[in-house]
């Protein structure tokens, strides 16, 4: 007679995360949210500079397929001391790429605790929640929390103004060169 096998408790669901550092501070992001990890050097050729007063955390944009992706400096976003970023995370289903210092490790979390309600300002948009890993508490970032819809609108508007100004300059240059050509004939 075979003894009854003990019923197994269901394994806790886990989520793969990337632990990364920004100015010495540890954060986590779901691996599924990161489309691409690149060195900042590889961006230098592809990135275009952008200047939006009041939004100093965004200084570059890159084209990813048909979309323009804004590159956010994570240290400036979180109000941390500046540190030279080494990596950029292109975040899936957002128009954000994130400059970070480096990856600590890849691991998994089994439990995400909602951000306590005592945190009642901008951080509610920054974090999905908190997780405890190896007796440390790590905030888990929201991929779409780095740029608000208003900030994206302002960046897009600034880009379209730049494009209009560029088009006007181009028209003026063309008109000027047309005049020069006719005056020399």
Partner 1 sequence: MTLIAETELQSFVLLRLGDRRFAVTANQIAELVAPSRVFRFPHRTPEVEGVILRRGRIVPVCDVAEKLIGNGLKSRRFYLITQRCYGAQTEWVALPVTGDCELINAEMTLPSDTDAPHVSGWLSHGGDVIEVLNLAALTPGPGEIVPSTAPLQPQEARS
Among 43, 69, 98, 130, binds partner 1 (CB under 8 A): 130
Least distance CB 30 / partner 1 (angstroms): 9
Among 3, 10, 12, 65, binds partner 1 (CB under 8 A): 12
Residue pair 143/58 in contact by the 8 Å Cβ criterion: no
Least distance CB 121 / partner 1 (angstroms): 4
Separation between Cα atoms, residue 32 and residue 91, nearest integer Å: 9
H/E run at residue 183? helix 149-184
* Residue 163 lies near partner 1 (rule: CB under 8 A): no
By CB under 8 A, what part of segment 47-86 binds partner 1?
78-80
Query: Which position has the token pair 């948009």?
Result: 125
| Residue 29 CB partners (closer than 8 Å, separation 6+) | 17, 18, 20, 89, 91, 140, 141, 143
* Residue 114 lies near partner 1 (rule: CB under 8 A): yes
**Which parts of this chain interact with partner 1 (CB under 8 A)?**
12-15, 25, 27, 78-80, 109-114, 116-123, 126, 129-130, 132, 135-139
């Amino acid at each position: 007679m075979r003894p009854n096998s003990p019923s197994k408790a269901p394994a806790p669901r886990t989520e793969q995360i990337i632990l990364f550092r920004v100015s010495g501070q540890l954060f986590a992001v779901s691996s599924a949210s990161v489309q691409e990890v690149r060195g900042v050097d590889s961006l230098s050729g592809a990135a275009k500079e952008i200047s939006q007063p009041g939004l100093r955390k965004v200084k570059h944009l890159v084209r990813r397929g048909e979309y323009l992706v804004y590159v956010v400096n994570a240290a400036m976003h979180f109000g941390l001391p500046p540190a030279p970023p080494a990596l950029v995370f292109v975040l899936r289903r957002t128009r954000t790429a994130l400059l970070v210092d480096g990856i600590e490790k890849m691991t998994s979390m089994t439990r995400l605790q909602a951000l306590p309600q005592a945190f009642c300002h901008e951080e509610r948009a920054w974090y999905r929640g908190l997780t405890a890993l190896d007796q440390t508490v790590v905030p888990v970032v929201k991929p779409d929390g780095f740029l608000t819809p208003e900030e994206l609108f302002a960046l897009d508007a600034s880009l379209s103004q730049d494009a209009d100004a560029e088009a006007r300059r181009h028209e003026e240059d063309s008109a000027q060169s047309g005049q020069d050509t006719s005056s020399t004939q």
